[in-house]
Amino acid sequence: MKSCRLYQVDAFTTEPFRGNPAGVVPDADGLSDVQMQAIAREVNASETAFILSPPSSDCDLQVRFFTPTTEVPSCGHATVAAHTVRALENDLPSCTVRQKTRLGILPVEVIREGQGFRIVMTQGAIEFGKTFFGRGRDQITAALGLSRTDLDERCPVQIVSTGHAKVLVGIRDRATLDALKPDLARLTELSRRIGCNGYFIFTLASEYRGFLSYGRMFAPAIGIAEDPVTGNANGPLGAYLVQHKLVPTEGNRLSFRGRQGEAIGRPGTVEVSVEIEAGKPRTVRVGGQAVIVFRTEIRF
């Protein structure tokens, strides 16, 4: 009989039952793909992270990420959750860990703060994809329950990726964002046509002091009706804001905090940092804290 430890961790928050829940299996060696997918389906969080021994000497560990329906190349909140569990189990000092995912090997900073930890991950290569105009843009906004007048005219509707692509849609105000009731079936069909599974709707009209943006993210095509707090959406947002010169920057860096999850009762904060070179975004990092909600054991 095989057994493994399973944690449920709320990421991008320090309070239980807030932020974004992730499953974490810290001893996943020996699990098959089918078993990992079955565990992720059973946990039913937006992602579950499986920590494996390093497959080569150029990394310290391997992490695989599964939604309830499929494996994905990376995940911000599950990375924060996984490294929080690993740091607590191993009583780690502040350090940098080389993490291998389907994106390759990227550094993750583990920053000890008293009895807790802050986790900062470097995201994948920045890629700016298709920009939608006219009918294509109208199909996306209609599926989201938006009209053209809801859009922030400064913000092109565009696919952006730092490892896991999202369609970024900027709108004018927070009230419209909170009231969104997207047509998930239409979004799923659109995802098949445009080759992008996630839709991140954001506003720069945040009433929270200290927060630049407020957002919501929907990815029904991969089993995520709404993701509470999304590292792989707020990171691309940072690159997008620099690329389109939508906010002022401090020298060669943009740093901000994005707020997400209020509309579904799971508020959380993503810390975003973008390194800028020759006026363009070069490297994106996202980070935050996490809290363990429970630990159990699975036997099968």
Whether 226 is catalytic is: no
Contact between 52 and 28 under an 8 Å Cβ cutoff? The reply is: yes
- Quick check: helix, strand or coil at residue 94? coil
Which of 218, 221, 215 is closest to 272 using CA atoms? 215
Provide the CB-side half-sphere exposure for 71 (13 A, CA): 13
User: Would you call 16 exposed, middle or buried from its count of C-beta atoms within 10 A (0-12, 13-18, 19+)?
Assistant: middle
Contact status, residue 38 vs residue 25, Cβ threshold 8 Å: no
**Dihedrals phi, psi of 222, to nearest 5 degrees:** -115, 25
Question: Of the residues 15, 42, 47, 250, which is catalytic?
Answer: 47
- Torsion angle of C-alpha atoms 17, 103, 273, 211, degrees rounded to 10: -30
Largest Cα separation within the chain, whole Å, is 58
For every residue of 53-68, which 3-state class applies, written as one string? CCCCCCCCEEEEEECC
Q: Cite the active site residues.
A: 47
